[in-house]
Amino acid sequence: MAVISTEKDIEALSLTLVAEFDAGVERVWQVWEDPRQLERWWGPPTWPATFEKHELRPGGSASYYMTGPDGEKSRGWWEFTTVEAPHRLEFDDGFANEDGSKAEEMGETHAVVTLEEVDAGRTRMTVASRFESADQLQQMIEMGMEEGLREAMGQIDVILAERASV
């Protein structure tokens, strides 16, 4: 089991998740460092991410979009505040408008990722996410849940189409 623990702090609006992987620290760092690997896990399966820019260095930024089942795009940005390969990564994360500019009204999340070796070839990853407002947390969740909602809507479409052809 990859996820070891999660800790939620309702007052501080934060979530800390600890996971362990059967791979070395350098290898786990690659899933963050290599945009082609990163985009295979960041977005939900039906909303795969494409990173157009990924400057993994302090002060660097990333921009990406996720593509939905109907081809619609949802854009996001990261700004790296700390990058200490292969052990520590801190970044701010938010939504972007269609032109790539920050969607300020959506707020941002601050994430701290640490990787440490627990045994030879085994890595513990801790991700601490802190939200600046409850609205913003809700936005994040709705983005993640949109997938399921759209699938459900698709099924309704199928049912309606069947009825129409009877």
Partner 1 sequence: MVVDELSDSDVDRLFHALADATRRDIVARAITGEHSVSALAAHYAMSFAAVQKHVAVLERASLVSKEKRGREQIVRANLDAVRKARRLLDEYEKIWRQRVDRIADILAEK
User: Where along the sequence are the contacts to partner 1 (CB under 8 A)?
Assistant: 2-3, 6, 8, 10-11, 13, 15, 17, 19, 21-23, 27-28, 31, 37, 40-42, 44-45, 125, 127, 129, 133-135, 137-138, 140-142, 144-145, 149
* Strands 108-119 and 122-131, sheet pairing: antiparallel
Min CB(15)–partner 1 separation in Å:
6
Of residues 27 and 102, the one with the C-beta less far from partner 1: 27
The rounded distance, in Å, linking the Cα atoms of 103 and 38 is 22
Min CB(109)–partner 1 separation in Å:
9
Of residues 62 and 137, the one with the C-beta less far from partner 1: 137
Of residues 42 and 65, the one with the C-beta less far from partner 1: 42
Tokens 């269609």, residue located: 98
Min CB(22)–partner 1 separation in Å:
7
The rounded distance, in Å, linking the Cα atoms of 103 and 155 is 31
The rounded distance, in Å, linking the Cα atoms of 104 and 50 is 21
- Positive or negative: CA dihedral 39, 56, 65, 8: positive
Of residues 100 and 121, the one with the C-beta less far from partner 1: 121
Sheet arrangement for strand 108-119: 3-9, 14-21, 122-131, 108-119, 88-96, 73-84, 61-67, 49-54
Of residues 58 and 121, the one with the C-beta less far from partner 1: 121
Min CB(84)–partner 1 separation in Å:
19
Contact 18, 124 (CB under 8 A): yes
Min CB(76)–partner 1 separation in Å:
13
